[in-house]
Every structure is written in C-alpha cells, then in structure tokens.
Copies of this chain bind each other. A is one copy, B any other.
Amino acid sequence: MLQQSFVSFSEHHKQILENQLKESISKLNAPPAVKESMLYSLEAGGKRIRPMLLFATLAAFGEDTVKGLWTAAAIEMVHTYSLIHDDLPSMDDDDLRRGKPTNHKIFGEAFAILAGDALLTYSFQSVAETPDEFASAEIKLSLIKELSKASGAEGMVGGQVADINGEGQQLALEDLEYIHLHKTGKLLECSVVSGAILAQAGQETVQALSRFAYHLGLAFQIRDDILDLEGTEDKIGKPIGSDESKNKSTYPSLLTMEGAKEALDSHIKAAKEKLRETGLNTELLEAITDLIASRDH
C-alpha cells in the first residue's frame, strides 16, 4: 500500500521534473553545442533521488509539491554538473556513467567542462525563477544560500577535493565520512532542507530533517560501496570493483563487509528515528529511505 503510493508519487514527480529540465534547456538562447551537451547528461536519467527528497519533504508538510519544482531542477542540475566534471580524464577518468558514454566521451573535454559550468550557473537562475506565488524573495534567497553552501568549497566541491587528496591512502573512518558527508551528503541534505524552507518550517523541524539527511547520506554511500563489490555491472552501469581497482578507501575495506552492512542498518534506523521526531507525515521520506537501504543500482 505504502510502496504503491510512493511508486505513483515518484513516477509523477519524475515526469514533471524531467519536463521542467527539458524546457529549461530548450528555452536557452545559446549555441546548440552547449545545449546538447547539457541535455545529454541531464537526460542520462538516474533515480532523481535529490528532487524526490525535496518533493517528499514538501508532501510531509502537506504542501503543494509544485512549489519545489524550480529548486528540484536546480539541485539536479548541480548534481549533473558534478558528475560531468568528476568523470573527466583529469578527475576519475570514467568512460561510462549509468551504462552510457560519459559526457566528454561524446562532446570532448572542453565542451564537457563548459556544459558543467553552464549547468551550475543555470541552477541558481532556476531557483531565482520560482514564481512569486510559490516563494517570497526572502525564501528564494535562503534557498540560493543553501544551494551555494551545499555545492561549493564548504560542501560538495570540498568533498571532492578531500577525495582526491585521499587517493591511494588508507583513510581513517573519520576522513572517509568527511569525504562522503560533503561529496554526497551536503546536496542530499540541501534537498531536504530546501523542502523545509519552502514550507516555512520552524528551526527545530529543520534541524531534525538535517539530521535525517545526515544519516541518509551516509547510508547512501555505504550502500554504494557495497554495490561496488556485490552488484552486477549490468545494473550499476559501471565495472564491478572499480573503487578497489582505483585504490579507494571504502566502508567495506575499513569495516569489513559485515561491519559495513551493520553501519548501513544503524544509519537507516537513525534516519527513521529523526523522521519520527519531526511529527510530520513522513511516509514518502521513509519509503525513499528504504529504497536507499535496499537499492541494487
């Protein structure tokens, strides 16, 4: 019953998000080369977990989810730009992403860098273009500040820098968590907190939702590390064991596979506890949490 309602919620919102992304690019008065490169990666799919978190948070407050469409699109643009830049030869040097050639394999390095730059830039415009009936100027500014902090040197980019610095080293668990909380966690948290900002939530509720996202982010990454060893190439869209072959520290390598699975369970439990603390109607957020705990790609 719960699963069924999440599936239809998710399908509906994935559709409106993808329409929004497509229209946003199509209306740009810009050289076709950059629009194609931007759209290629935006349309490469994925689970759209960040937008779903934002929509599900709005739903938890009983708010109309359409309010969050421009910010959800913005966050997906930031996520997509980060994948394009991460895949570059001077970064992770990946040829495949979700089973498709990475952006620079199709458009070349220069246009991949520029498409990433353009997506990042456009994301802030997308938030700013939220219609006034859905958010005041003050709310839009708060959303922009959150997005900037979550994406920049203090957030996602900082995590990526720490990740590169840690390559080839045996990291302490603390360092590994710094990397993941920044590289992946901050943007997941931003998705949830943005929903709360749009719903004009009180500070305590925002705090509980932030902690929910903290645990969810770590669970997400632990599951990722487990999948890298136990998944199938067909499903995860990249070669199995690619972290190991790149000599990256992972949860299973630091905690053993059993320890990693225990840590996953414990973060999922803590995430759900934080949801209960909010007193909101968090069924959809719980469903996303379960999805992250058990996903096979």
List A residues at the B interface (Cβ < 8 Å).
28-31, 33-35, 38, 81, 85, 88, 90-91, 108-111, 113-114, 116-118, 120-122, 124-125, 128-129, 136-138, 140-141, 144-145, 147-149, 151-154, 157-158, 160-162, 164-165
| A31-B117 in contact given A122-B152, A137-B136 (Cβ < 8 Å) | no
Task: Please name the 7 residue pairs, one residue from A and one from B, whose CB atoms are nearest each other, closest first.
Answer: A90-B109, A121-B152, A137-B137, A125-B148, A30-B153, A118-B153, A30-B158
Q: Which residues of B contact A151 (CB under 8 A)?
A: 121
User: Measured between C-beta atoms, what is the minimum distance from A263 to chain B in Å?
Assistant: 24
With contacts A90-B109, A157-B34 taken as known, whether A117 is within 8 angstroms of B165 at the C-beta atoms is no
A128: contacting residue among B118, B148, B160, B161, CB under 8 A: B148
Please name all residues of chain B whose beta carbon is closer than 8 Å to the beta carbon of A38 when the two chains form the complex: 153
Residues of B contacting A136 with CB < 8 Å? 137
State A81–B85 Cα separation when bound (angstroms).
14
Q: Select which of B29, B120, B137, B161 is within 8 A of A31 by beta carbon.
A: B161
A117 touches B157 (CB 8 A): yes
Supplied contacts A30-B152, A90-B113, 8 more A-B pairs, CB within 8 Å: A30-B158, A31-B162, A85-B113, A85-B117, A118-B158, A125-B145, A128-B141, A128-B144
What are 17 pairs between A and B in contact, CB < 8 Å? A31-B153, A31-B165, A88-B113, A90-B108, A90-B109, A91-B113, A117-B152, A122-B152, A124-B124, A124-B144, A124-B148, A128-B144, A129-B145, A136-B137, A137-B137, A137-B138, A141-B141
| In the complex, chain B residues whose CB is within 8 Å of the CB of A147 | 124
Q: How far is the CB of A178 from chain B (nearest CB, A)?
A: 9
Copies in the complex: 2
A38 to B161: give the CA distance in the assembly, Å: 12
A165 — nearest CB in chain B belongs to which residue?
A: B33
Task: State whether A157 and B33 are in contact (beta carbons under 8 Å apart), knowing that A128-B144, A136-B137 are contacts in the complex.
Answer: no
Chain B contacts of A110 at CB under 8 A? 90-91, 164
Chain B residues positioned under 8 Å from A157 (CB to CB): 30, 34, 114, 117-118, 121
Closest CB in chain B relative to A226 CB, distance in Å: 27
> Which chain B residue lies CB-closest to A121?
B152
Name the distance in Å between A175's Cβ and chain B's nearest Cβ.
11
Q: Determine if B148 and A111 form an interchain contact, defined as CB atoms under 8 angstroms apart.
A: no
User: Which residue on B lies nearest to A111, using beta carbons?
Assistant: B161
Contacting residues, chain B, for A145 (C-beta < 8 A): 125, 128-129
Partner of A153, one of B34, B113, B162: B34
CB-defined contacts of A128 to chain B, threshold 8 Å: 141, 144-145, 148
Bound complex: CA A90 to CA B31 (Å): 19
> What distance in Å separates the Cβ of A160 from its nearest Cβ neighbour in chain B?
6
